[in-house]
Amino acid sequence: METGNSTARAEELKAQANEAFKAHKYAQAIDLYSQAIELNGENAVYYANRAFAHTKLEEYGSAIQDASKAIEIDPKYSKGYYRRGAAHLAMGKFKEALKDFQQVKRICPNDPDATKKLKECEKAVMKLKFEEAISLPESERCSVADSIDYHTIEVEPQYSGARIEGDVVTLDFVKKMMEDFKNQKSLHKRYAFQIVLQIREMLRALPSLVDINVPEGKHFTVCGDVHGQYYDLLNIFELNGLPSEENPYLFNGDFVDRGSFSVEVILTLFAFKCMSPSAIHLARGNHESKSMNKIYGFEGEVRSKLSETFVELFAEVFCCLPLAHVINGKVFVVHGGLFSVDGVKLSDIRSIDRFCEPPEEGLMCELLWSDPQPIPGRGPSKRGVGLSFGADVTKRFLQENNLDLVVRSHEVKDEGYEIEHEGKLITVFSAPNYCDQMGNKGAFIRFEAPELKPDIVTFSAVPHPDVKPMAYANNFLRMFS
């Protein structure tokens, strides 16, 4: 009798999980699907649904595992392949995705939706193969930056936007540009080139690990992911003041992608740094990379608002971004997290050759991709890249490097932040109502020297013009969102 009961109870849990999913409560949905799986581990639907919820939380590694389990239980279950294909796609694994969609098509030969997605996937793989075929090896590539002389670019007399007089980016210029962006006007390509080329020189000269000194009595603000949410960035400046020598910021990676105002965000952050290098510090996130920008919208947006040359140029500049920062020798700030091995010293991070696309493994990859976990030790990453690390790993890293705190970003949090690992690790995320649907708050952290006690400020999303997130994303990915 018991099995009948538990089957019925599992179905109830699934129904509750579906409701939570519809309300964008994805973590809760995962929890409920997991309870249903506990009661009945032979139902492929529970795994496929949980895979979808993982996808929504960008936990593509877990999504692939769940979808594979669904397929194992029922090899003819098309949704299992479909979900796995979508997760492969989200990780930029087009060839694996293609195999999964071919299976979907085999199982449902007459489904127009499956046919359409397969066609798009084939197109994406063809494009990728073509790009690989024509691309030069790293050693033979010449820098696109070296081929641009912005001085020779004409500014038409009818252009009414912000202008840089001479070679100096001033606060007046930045303010005018921000106002233009706010009103959905664009910046002339000449000035965009000027800013991006200037920032490239500045970033190239920095070490991979940057030390920041905050004098006694002064403060310093750390922001997490902004993800192209320009109007929320303006709101941060409204709440906490514009970046300046007296009011310095660190933006901790993932400036672009997903949100459809990534060009405005990146040009604003870069312009502030040109204006005053010590007013703003910028760290690389996992989305400051070609493979992510191809999928999640930045590349398409740059093409649409600027040009093909800028796509190349931004990719080059992103490779110059530092990988981590240390504030007053005490607070370690990094986009993702810590390492798969013990004993990593700050000097090891300093000596990383960062001028490349992020590799699939190793220190640089882990800095950009890892996440904390509640249990001690290390585990596989839910994302399928990097790893998960426990409080013991955090504690040892801090002790060995004479540090007090790890601050990282990389994960959406309901309150905009989360304090974990016995207070030794803080996640800060600055894109409220992420992707216009997560309902989360955003946050930033203010540190005052010498104590550097973290003062966390949270804020809600503000309205923005009606351009949907992912508006410029890979066609193919948009089908799944």
- The H or E element containing residue 33 is helix 26-39
Burial code (b: 16+ CB inside 10 Å, e: under 16) for 414-424 equals eebbeebbeeb
- The amino acid present at 163, given as its one-letter code, is R
Answer whether 175's CB lies under 8 Å from 202's CB: no
Neighbours of 304 (CB within 10 A): 12
Q: Residue 52 has what DSSP assignment?
A: H
116: phi then psi, degrees, rounded to nearest 5: -60, -45
Answer whether 456's CB lies under 8 Å from 417's CB: yes
Q: 3-state class of 75 per DSSP?
A: coil
Answer whether 394's CB lies under 8 Å from 189's CB: no
Give the list of residues 6+ apart from residue 228 with CB closer than 8 angstroms, or none: 255, 256, 257, 258, 259, 260, 261, 262, 265, 297, 298, 301, 469
Answer whether 392's CB lies under 8 Å from 377's CB: yes
Q: Rounded to an integer, what distance in angstroms lies between the CA atom of residue 109 and that of residue 115?
A: 8
Strand runs labelled E in 278-356: 280-282, 324-327, 331-334
Nearest CA to 431 among 226, 280, 233, 268? 226
List, in sequence order, every residue forming a beta bridge with 326; answer none if it has no partner: 211, 332
Nearest CA to 464 among 296, 261, 298, 305? 261
Q: Rounded to an integer, what distance in angstroms lies between the CA atom of residue 57 and that of residue 302?
A: 26
Torsion angle of alpha carbons 74, 78, 81, 83, nearest 10°? -110
The token duo for 257 is: 């992608």
**What DSSP letter does each residue of 229-273 carry, written as one string?**
-HHHHHHHHHHH---BTTB-EEE-S--SSSSTTHHHHHHHHHHHH
How far lies 406's CA from each of 205, 327, 334, in Å? 25, 10, 8
Strand pairing report for 324-327 and 209-212? parallel
Phi-psi region of 474 (alpha: psi -120 to 50; beta: other; left: phi over 0): beta
Residues labelled catalytic: 287
